[in-house]
């Protein structure tokens, strides 16, 4: 789960131009099992570059390295050089 400069070139068809790399912007996590659980997210704030844990009604500063690398549910990447739609 690279935080910056994810390179998708090895997965491109031959002859296709290399895309710009992608940066990690958010991680959705699930805690629990098949019978139930809870979702929360780690999101990177554009203005300060910091990571924040968003969990129901609370938001607090966090570190990406606190995520168990084997547990992310969904990773959200943004291509470098494209405008951000969120703050």
**Strand-strand pairing, 22-33 and 51-55:** unpaired
Q: In the prediction, which pLDDT does 85 show?
A: 67
pTM score over 0.85: no
The DSSP secondary-structure symbol of 16 reads: P
Residues in the chain: 87
- Residue 4 near residue 50 (C-beta atoms within 8 A): no
Candidates 24, 22, 1; CA nearest to 79 is 22
**pLDDT of 20-73, one tens digit each?**
899 999 999 887 877 888 888 999 888 888 899 998 889 999 888 877 666 788
Cα separation, 29 vs 73, in Å, equals 5
Coil, strand or helix at 59: strand
Q: In the prediction, which pLDDT does 71 show?
A: 77
Tokens representing 62?
A: 């966090």
pLDDT over threshold 60, residue 16: yes
């Amino acid at each position: 789960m690279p935080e910056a400069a994810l390179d998708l070139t090895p997965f491109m068809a031959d002859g296709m131009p290399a895309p710009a790399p992608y940066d990690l912007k958010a991680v959705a996590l699930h805690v629990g099992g098949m019978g139930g659980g809870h979702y929360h997210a780690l999101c990177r704030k554009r203005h300060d570059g910091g990571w924040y844990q968003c969990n129901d009604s609370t938001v607090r500063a966090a570190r990406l390295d606190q995520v168990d690398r084997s547990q992310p549910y969904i990773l959200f990447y943004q291509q470098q050089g494209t405008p951000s739609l969120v703050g």
